[in-house]
Amino acid sequence: MLREFFLNEVKTAVSLLVKDKKLGQMSLEDNYNLQSEIPKNSQFGDFAVNVSSLSRYTKLAPAKTAEIIASEINKSGFEINVTAGFINFKISSSMLNKIINEILEKKLDYAKNNVGKGEKVILEYVSANPTGPFHIGHGRWAAMGSALANIMKYSGYDVYQEFYINDAGSQIQKLGKSLYIRILQELGIEIDFPSDEEEAKNFYTGEFLIPVAKEFIEAEKERAKTIKNIWTGDFNEEQLKYISKYARLKMLAKQQALLKNFRTFFDNFFSEITLHESGKVENCIKKLQELGVLYEKDGAIWFASSKYGDEKDRVIKKSDGAYTYLTADIAYHYDKLQRGFTKLLNIWGADHHGYIPRMRAAVEVLGYNPDSLEVLLGQLVNLVINGEEVRMGKRTKMVTLDDLIDEVGVDATRYWMIMKSIDTTLDFDIELAKSKTDDNPVFYVQYAHARACSILRNASADKPDIINNTIQKGFEPDLSKADFNLIWIADDEKSVETTKKLILKLEEYKFVVQSAAKNKTPYLVTKYLQELACDFHKFYTFSKVLVENEKLMCARLSVVKAVILILKSAMNLIAVDTPEKM
């Protein structure tokens, strides 16, 4: 990574100078922190390190400090100039050529790295109730989570993706009853959900269960007949149990199918029911009891979480004998820890943020570092239709993730969901995401890729000896026939400038991937893709690739090939397609 390289040049120089007491009054004990950056204005250079902050130790003016450090650096392969407190580096064309060679050699693995150091991470996300279709917010977690998992794996984390199925609570009963009613309706019985608003809250009154009821009757003809015959105006316990299970498994299957279609792949779907049946919940409570953090009050059992940073204590076992959602979730996180994961990474909706302190408390009490729990809080998604924000409420018909994907496609949906920082409320503008014009960033990036592919296609048709399109070598330029120096001695200044910028941008991919992985910010990848596509389009405008001079042509073809590889690698990370033709 060139950023790191130049930073190390400076750090090495500083260490040497300090050791010889040549850097003002700075001493070995002084704890300094430097960073390298890409100057906003490229006339300063290609990379820069600002050493102004060292002035507090050197007791010299920033410019003087920079001067001394710069004179200590051994320049090979780059130039240095000093302005104010900045040490600016300008890299040589041979370093640029090396970048292209490295990309063509490592291909999609160019930016693979090991900042994760094999850390065992369990990433839990989406984790919806199997009680209905996904809403668009689930889509955000699915897109973000799957992209993050890809990025982190690429960066050396050992990531295990898990979906916690919330299938044990009272909501399953509610789902079963609702399907029961829908089935009866389909069988021609006069019945409807309660008209009283309060009572209706015990049912899922949405229409999504109507097709499920139809499927049920089709698949379970005999049972349907029985259900109809024994209907007395009350739910039959045995039938309700059966229907509840049917509904639960059906909804889950639908969710799983959708996730797959949305390129979100989990290593495991963890059912809350199994947590109860295996006795893990009981065990966890026993453990908490032994640790002396539980007590009884008002007929309920409480967890003294307020002693561990929570604002108040929480109920573990309700006075009616049932466990709370939290209880099972503590047991679930305990299970994750016992499975050997050292980092529990969760994506939760912002509406769950109050939940973090109590879960941290639980992790701490159970004898683990509370920091092993890391929650990425996702702000919610608003749908914008025709410029109007659509609130998801009782009156408006819910727009499901299915609907959205049907409307705008998987690529655009994923891209838009990942594009913005997770900290900002996302306005998902359907019209914009659907548009096939320049206001749509997905197409801008895909177009760059298709355009680049088109050049290679044309080249291999005309010059098969320079660029090869056999199965083993997919549009691979023959590097031995390229002369990269021709790129840099072209008379066209714009061509040289935009090519250089493009290659530096390709190299930046390494830094972007690592930042996105470390900071858990997949949107950096989409931002980068935008910039890379832009730099490629500029290169395309100012540098004709298919020129007479075959050595120059081959050099430029290599640049194009490198762009395709990096675009593809980055798009793979966020799981968005890169069509070769558009």
Partner RNA sequence: GCGUCCGUAGCUCAGCUGGAUAGAGCACCUGCCUUCUAAGCAGGGUGUCGAGAGUUCGAAUCUCUCCGGGCGUACCA
In 442-499, beta strands by DSSP E: 467-469, 474-477
Q: Tell me the per-residue interface mask from 128 to 147 with RNA, x by CB under 7 A, - otherwise.
A: -x------------------
**What value does the CA radius of gyration of the chain take, rounded to a whole number of Å?**
30
Q: How far apart are the first and last CA of the chain?
A: 33
The least distance separating RNA from the CB of residue 223, rounded to whole angstroms, comes to: 27
| 201 interacts with RNA by CB under 7 A | no
| 501 interacts with RNA by CB under 7 A | no
**Closer residue to RNA in complex, CB, 249/546:** 546
Q: Of 29, 320, 388, 493, which lies in the binding site for RNA, with binding defined by CB under 7 A?
A: 320
CA distance 141 to 138: 5
**Closer residue to RNA in complex, CB, 89/160:** 89
Size of the site for RNA (CB under 7 A): 85
CA distance 294 to 286: 10
Contact by Cβ (8 Å): 319, 300? yes
CA distance 398 to 387: 18
**Closer residue to RNA in complex, CB, 287/537:** 537
CB atoms under 10 Å from CB of 199, counted, come to 10
Stretch of 49-57, 210-218, 248-256, 278-286 lying at the interface with RNA (CB under 7 A): 49-57
**Closer residue to RNA in complex, CB, 132/145:** 132
Q: Of 115, 187, 300, 496, which lies in the binding site for RNA, with binding defined by CB under 7 A?
A: 300
Q: Of 215, 436, 470, 485, which lies in the binding site for RNA, with binding defined by CB under 7 A?
A: 436
**Closer residue to RNA in complex, CB, 39/156:** 39
Residues 51-110, interacting with RNA (CB under 7 A):
52-53, 55-56, 62, 83-86, 88
What is the token pair recorded at 92?
């040589």
| 333 interacts with RNA by CB under 7 A | no
CA distance 467 to 457: 9
CA distance 539 to 467: 20
The torsion angle over the Cα atoms of residues 249, 251, 252 and 258, rounded to 10 degrees, is: 140
CA distance 112 to 5: 17
SS3 state at 15: helix
| 537 interacts with RNA by CB under 7 A | yes
| 350 interacts with RNA by CB under 7 A | yes
- Among 111, 107, 79, 80, which Cα is nearest to 93's? 79
CB atoms under 10 Å from CB of 19, counted, come to 11
Q: Of 156, 169, 206, 409, which lies in the binding site for RNA, with binding defined by CB under 7 A?
A: 169
Q: Of 178, 271, 543, 569, which lies in the binding site for RNA, with binding defined by CB under 7 A?
A: 543
| 582 interacts with RNA by CB under 7 A | yes
- Among 64, 86, 61, 63, which Cα is nearest to 6's? 86
Q: Of 64, 153, 228, 544, which lies in the binding site for RNA, with binding defined by CB under 7 A?
A: 544
Stretch of 150-158, 200-208, 324-332, 503-511 lying at the interface with RNA (CB under 7 A): 324-332
CA distance 323 to 302: 11
Return phi, psi of residue 289, to 5°.
Answer: -65, -45
Stretch of 19-27, 36-44, 285-293, 333-341 lying at the interface with RNA (CB under 7 A): 36-44
What is the token pair recorded at 265?
């792949």
The least distance separating RNA from the CB of residue 302, rounded to whole angstroms, comes to: 8
DSSP 267-299: SEEEEHHHHHHTTHHHHHHHHHHHTT-EEEETT
Contact by Cβ (8 Å): 221, 184? no
**Closer residue to RNA in complex, CB, 65/264:** 65
**Closer residue to RNA in complex, CB, 187/490:** 490
The runs of H, that is alpha helices, within 109-268 are 136-154, 170-186, 197-200, 209-219, 221-229, 237-261
Residues 110-129, interacting with RNA (CB under 7 A):
129
The least distance separating RNA from the CB of residue 139, rounded to whole angstroms, comes to: 16
| 352 interacts with RNA by CB under 7 A | yes
| 168 interacts with RNA by CB under 7 A | yes
**Closer residue to RNA in complex, CB, 224/346:** 346
Contact by Cβ (8 Å): 574, 147? yes
DSSP 483-518: -THHHHT-S-HHHHHHHHHHHHHHHHHHHHHHHHHH
- Residue 30 carries which side chain, given as an amino acid letter? D
| 354 interacts with RNA by CB under 7 A | yes
Q: Of 20, 29, 41, 117, which lies in the binding site for RNA, with binding defined by CB under 7 A?
A: 41
Q: Of 7, 60, 375, 534, which lies in the binding site for RNA, with binding defined by CB under 7 A?
A: 534
Stretch of 153-161, 277-285, 292-300, 360-368 lying at the interface with RNA (CB under 7 A): 292-300
**Closer residue to RNA in complex, CB, 208/216:** 208
| 398 interacts with RNA by CB under 7 A | no
CA distance 199 to 178: 12
Stretch of 42-50, 231-239, 480-488, 565-573 lying at the interface with RNA (CB under 7 A): 42-50
The least distance separating RNA from the CB of residue 318, rounded to whole angstroms, comes to: 4
| 315 interacts with RNA by CB under 7 A | yes
| 450 interacts with RNA by CB under 7 A | yes
**Closer residue to RNA in complex, CB, 45/139:** 45
CA distance 455 to 475: 10
**Closer residue to RNA in complex, CB, 260/312:** 312
Q: Of 110, 355, 415, 484, which lies in the binding site for RNA, with binding defined by CB under 7 A?
A: 355
Return phi, psi of residue 502, to 5°.
Answer: -65, -45
Residues 204-233, interacting with RNA (CB under 7 A):
none
Contact by Cβ (8 Å): 473, 465? no
CA distance 500 to 487: 9
